[in-house]
Amino acid sequence: MTLKIEHLTGGYIGVPVIKDINLEIKPGEVLGVIGLNGAGKSTTIKHILGLLRPQKGKITLNGIDLAAQPTKFKRQVAYIPETPVLYSELTLKEHLQLTILSYQLDEKQAWAKAHELLQMFRLDDKLDWLPIHFSKGMKQKVMIVCAFLANTELLVIDEPFTGLDPLAVANLVELIKNAADQGKMVLMSTHILANSVQAVSRYAVLNNGKIAAAGTLAEIRMHYALKETDSFDQIYQILSQEQQNA
């Protein structure tokens, strides 16, 4: 029961953004992917979601190869994008119904969970709203509710904290921790380290499209020779210097 990314090289046509990436996420693990803008975080995520075709390498989830069985693979993956993407034709309730249909969930159980999540994010009285009436933060909350409703083995979260109010950030961190406790795998890309440290069990530092370091918070600090008194955010300055030296 793992997500395995083996020797992944990819990006856009003619522009390889990530080079020979190897990653593994085990059940109950929350992997935080960190790095500067353009380091390859979102590109890695797009490959895991099957939105980009790898130039080299392989991605498997619980033994299911993404390239060979895309629908079976996707049924085990839920995604929260950086910029919320909703169907303009569907109300909030219908987004939840579409999630139930797509992930073939038990309707009764799914609705019980949905109501819990809707209450948590204060959306329970907005079931009949179209996305056009939601603020950016509310749209992001809809994405979170749909992703956690899907109850998948792997949760992919891209920059989840931007646009959310502090209460929603705390709720999201709690949900991620609970998911990990239930043995789910979480891959999260973020810049806001202060929030991520509460939930992340292991980090992968991406720089220039390559994994520069991977390990626990303590291991990453040691790798970059950060003192105990140093802020973890200093890692970005080091990465920037490494980019300039490269």
Residues that bind another protein (CB under 8 A): 49-51, 71-72, 74-75, 77, 79, 81, 85-91, 94, 97-103, 107, 128, 130, 132
Smallest separation (angstroms) from another protein to the CB of 153 = 12
HSE-up of residue 185 (Cα within 13 Å, Cβ side): 17
Q: 90 vs 217, which CB is nearer to another protein?
A: 90
Q: Please tell me the distance from the alpha carbon of residue 196 to that of residue 202, in angstroms, as a whole number.
A: 10
Distance CA 220, CA 238 (A): 12
Asked if 4 and 188 touch (Cβ cutoff 8 Å), the reply is: no
Strand duo 56-61 + 3-12: pairing: antiparallel
Which tokens hold the place of 76?
A: 């085990």
State the DSSP code for 233.
G
Query: What minimum distance in Å lies between the beta carbon of 106 and another protein?
Result: 11
Cα–Cα dist 179/25, whole Å? 14
CA distance 157 to 32: 9
Shortest approach of another protein to residue 75 CB, angstroms?
4
Question: From the CB of 223, what's the least distance to another protein, in Å?
Answer: 33
Indicate the residue among 61 and 205 with the shorter CB distance to another protein.
Answer: 61
* Shortest Cβ 110–another protein spacing (Å): 10
Residue placing its CB nearer to another protein in the complex, 100 or 212: 100
Which is closer to another protein, CB of 7 or CB of 115?
115
For another protein, the closer CB: 130 or 238: 130
**3-state SS of the chain: helix, strand, coil percent to 5?**
40, 25, 35
Name the minimum Å distance from CB 219 to another protein.
32
- Measured from the CB atom, the residue of 74 and 202 that comes closer to another protein is 74
21 Cβ contact partners less than 8 Å away, ≥ 6 residues apart: 5, 7, 8, 9, 40, 44, 57, 209, 210, 211
